[in-house]
Homo-oligomer: A and B are copies of this chain.
Amino acid sequence: MTREMHPQRWGDPRLAGPLSEATQALVDAAFGAVPTPAVDRVVLPGPGLAEELLASLAGAVGTAHVHTDEGTRRSRTRGKSTPDLLRARAGDLSDAPDAVVRPGSHDEVVAVLAWAREHHVAVVPFGGGTSVTGGLVATREGYAGVVSLDLARLDGLLAVDPVSMTATLQPGMRGPEAEAALAEHGLTLGHFPQSFEHASIGGFAATRSSGQNSAGFGRFDQMVVGLRAATPVGEIVAGAAPASAAGPDLRQLLLGSEGAFGVITEVTVRVRARPAEQVHEAWRFESFAAGREAVRHLAQHQLLPTIVRLSDETETALNLASQSDVGGEGVSGCLMVVGHEGDAVERRRAEVAEALAAAGGSPLGEKRGRHWREGRFAAPYLRDSMLDAGVLVETLETATFWSGVDRLRDAVTEALQDGLGEGTLVLCHVSHVYETGCSLYFTVAARQGEDPLGRWLAAKAAASDAVLAAGGTITHHHAVGTDHRPWLAREVGPVGVTVLRAVKAALDPTGVLNPGVMVP
C-alpha cells in the first residue's frame, strides 16, 4: 500500500530532504547539533500469537486479511510522536503488534472483537497511524497478545444526503480519500489537520481532531452528527437528529473514546458545498498580545474567517509559520494568517479586514497567506529533517479561556525552557479559536544531548503539570493516548475517572480494547 508511512519517519521519507543552508546554519548556531541518522536495523519481537489463535482470527476475516509479516507489523507499530520516532530511530520497535488484522465490514469488526474477548487479546484500532500521544501502544502484560485492528479496508463513502448535507463515511478513509469522494458530489468536509494526508475519518472522531479550518468549519466533533460503533457487548448507534434533549449525548462519549470504548465503524458528518472561492492573506501585529486581542474580537463578534492563525514573536521571527522551512525572510512582530473560503468571500474578507485594521493589524498581502497554505502539511517532514540533523523537536498543545491565555503560555514556555536547558526555542501559535478562549500550540526545538528521549519526557511532564496548574486542558486536539493519561485523571478528577471507568467496564468488560489508552 502506498499510503504506508515509514516506521521511523512521517509520510513519504523523500519529502523530508536535508535542511536548507539557512536552516542548517541556524541549527548549527543555536544547537551545535550533530547529525543523528536513524539506525537501519530495527528489532521486532517475534510474533507472539499461537498459530491456532491466528487461524481462528483468519476464520473471522479471511486468511488474506491477517498479517504477521515483519513489514506490516513494523508499519503498525506506535504512532508519530517524537518519543515514538526516537525509539524507532534507535531501532526499538518492541511495541510491534503480533498481528495486523483488516476486517472488511462492521460485522467482521464485531467478529474480531468477539475473538479478542474469547482469547483475551488486546486490540489496537488503527486508522492512519498518526497519533502523537501514544494512542497506538497497548498494554501487553496480562494479554495473550496484541493485534492491530487496521481499518484500511473500511474505506468507503456509504451515503450522501445532499438535502440534509450529511455524508456517512467508513472509518478507514484517509483525509484525501474522503475529500476526493465528497468532491465527486461537489461537497467538502473541510477538515484539514496537519495530519490530513495520512489520518483517518475514524481517528478524527476517536481523538476529537481539530483542523486548520476550524474557525469556519468547526472541530471534527462538531461536524459529527452520527456514529456507529462495534463494542464487545454489541453495536451502538448514536445521533438520531442534529440535536436532541434525549438524555446525555452519547455521540460525545464515543468522540474522544480513542478505541477504548469501541471501534467506530461509521461516521456521519455534516458536509458543505466545496468553496467557490478562497483567499488567504497575512497580517502583521506589533505583539502577540495585540494579535490575540484582535482574534478575540473576531471570535466574540461572530466575525471569524475560515482560517485564523496567529504566530508569536519567536515563531514569526523564525518564519516557521510557513511550516516548511525556517530562516527565510522573517517578519517582525507577529504574523497572522487569515483564510476565507466559501461564498461571499470578498464581503467577509472586507468585514474581517476592517476589524483587524481597527485592532492595529497591518495587511501583508496574499503571498505569505498562500505560502502558509502550500506548506501547511509539511511540518512533520521538517521535524524528521531536524531529528536527522540532531535537533530535538516536538510539539504540544492545550487550550484555555481568554483570560488565562497569557498565564498558560508563560507557564508552559517556562517549564519547557527549564526542562530542556539553555538555547531551547519555544514557539507558540493560536490556531483554534472560540468565543470564550483558544488553543495554544507549542513547537519546541532543543539540543538532543545524551538522552533526548528522557530529557523530552521529563520536560513534557513538567509542561503538562504547568498546563493543569495554569487551568488549561491537557490536550485541545492531540488526544490522550497513553502519554496524557495521568494528566487526564487530574483534569477530570476522581469522579470523572469513575465515570470513564464505568463506561469502559460496561462496553468492554474484559478490557481488550486499546488497554492502557485514554481511560485512567
Binding site for B on A (CB under 8 A): 161, 163-166, 207-210, 219, 221, 225, 231, 233-238, 240-250, 252-258, 261, 270, 272, 296, 300-302, 342-343, 398-404, 432, 434-439, 471-480, 484, 488, 491-496, 498-503, 505-507, 518-519
Q: Report the copy number of this chain in the oligomer.
A: 2
List the B side residues contacting A474 at CB < 8 Å: 240, 244, 246
List the B side residues contacting A494 at CB < 8 Å: 234
On whether the beta carbons of B484 and A246 are closer than 8 Å, the reply is yes
What are 25 A-B residue pairs whose CB atoms fall within 8 Å in the complex?
Answer: A161-B401, A163-B296, A163-B402, A208-B243, A208-B244, A225-B436, A234-B494, A236-B496, A238-B496, A241-B399, A242-B434, A242-B437, A243-B434, A246-B256, A246-B479, A247-B518, A248-B503, A250-B492, A250-B499, A252-B253, A301-B343, A302-B343, A498-B506, A502-B503, A503-B503
- A216, closest chain B residue (CB): B302
On whether the beta carbons of A436 and B255 are closer than 8 Å, the reply is no
On whether the beta carbons of B492 and A507 are closer than 8 Å, the reply is no
On whether the beta carbons of A436 and B164 are closer than 8 Å, the reply is yes
Contact of A236 among B244, B435, B499 (CB under 8 A): B499
Evaluate whether A270 and B435 lie within 8 angstroms (CB atoms) in the complex, with A241-B400, A301-B343, A399-B242 already known: yes
Evaluate whether A499 and B253 lie within 8 angstroms (CB atoms) in the complex, with A398-B241, A493-B235 already known: yes
What is the CA–CA distance of A495 and B492 in the complex, to the nearest angstrom?
Answer: 24
What is the CA–CA distance of A498 and B502 in the complex, to the nearest angstrom?
Answer: 10
On whether the beta carbons of A436 and B270 are closer than 8 Å, the reply is yes
Distance to closest chain B CB from A429 (angstroms)? 16
Contact of A166 among B165, B401, B484 (CB under 8 A): B401
